[in-house]
């Protein structure tokens, strides 16, 4: 970012697409020496590269910012921005294989509850249900690591977050 710039930035990461099954790979980029910005505990950014050549059987890799559901098939990550312009990553709190939680500001205060439900027998889709107890801006990404499909849910700053029941989030595939 140049002086005075704020918000998200996109970074291009060139990849060599081949037919080798290598598994998913995580790249961590350090963000050292931030000047004029408060990154808090987050001084790195992570990128998950999804293998589309058949090597993705290991599924999601959980960490403090990644919630893994349904035997690692789904990876969930998010970011938030508050009224002072501060921003950060959702922090994951695993719960069960089908649901989990995230916190933003204090690990003792859960901000988001998320469930991924296998509704294939009912409507040929996997569902995403979640509720957030906040009015800060957020963006939640749910990625199906088997297919590469991703759903994004967001809330604008100052708006009470709605409960979401997306019963057509992901089509059923093996």
Residue-wise pLDDT tens digits, 71-103: 899 999 999 999 999 999 999 987 888 899 999
Cα(15)–Cα(168) distance, integer angstroms: 31
Comparing 33-42, 48-57, 120-129, the range with the smallest average pLDDT is: 48-57
CA distances from 139 to 76, 153, 158, 172 (A): 11, 6, 14, 24
pTM as predicted = 0.68
Determine the average pLDDT of the residues in 128-140: 96
User: Among 167, 158, 14, 142, which Cα is nearest to 80's?
Assistant: 158
């Amino acid at each position: 970012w140049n002086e005075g710039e704020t918000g998200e930035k996109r970074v291009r990461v060139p990849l060599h697409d081949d037919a080798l099954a290598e598994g998913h790979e995580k790249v961590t980029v350090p963000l050292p020496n931030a000047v004029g910005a408060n990154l808090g505990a987050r001084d790195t950014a992570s990128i998950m590269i999804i293998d589309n050549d058949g090597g993705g059987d290991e599924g999601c890799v959980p960490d403090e910012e990644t919630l893994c559901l349904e035997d690692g098939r789904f990876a969930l990550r998010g970011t938030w921005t508050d009224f002072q312009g501060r921003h950060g990553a959702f922090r994951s709190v695993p719960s069960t294989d089908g649901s989990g939680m995230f916190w933003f500001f204090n690990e003792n205060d859960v901000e988001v509850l998320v469930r991924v439900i296998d509704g294939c027998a009912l409507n040929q889709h996997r569902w995403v249900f979640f509720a957030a107890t906040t009015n800060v801006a957020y963006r939640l990404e749910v990625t199906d690591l088997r297919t590469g499909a991703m759903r994004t849910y967001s809330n604008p700053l100052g708006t009470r977050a709605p409960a979401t029941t997306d019963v057509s989030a992901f089509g059923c595939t093996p």
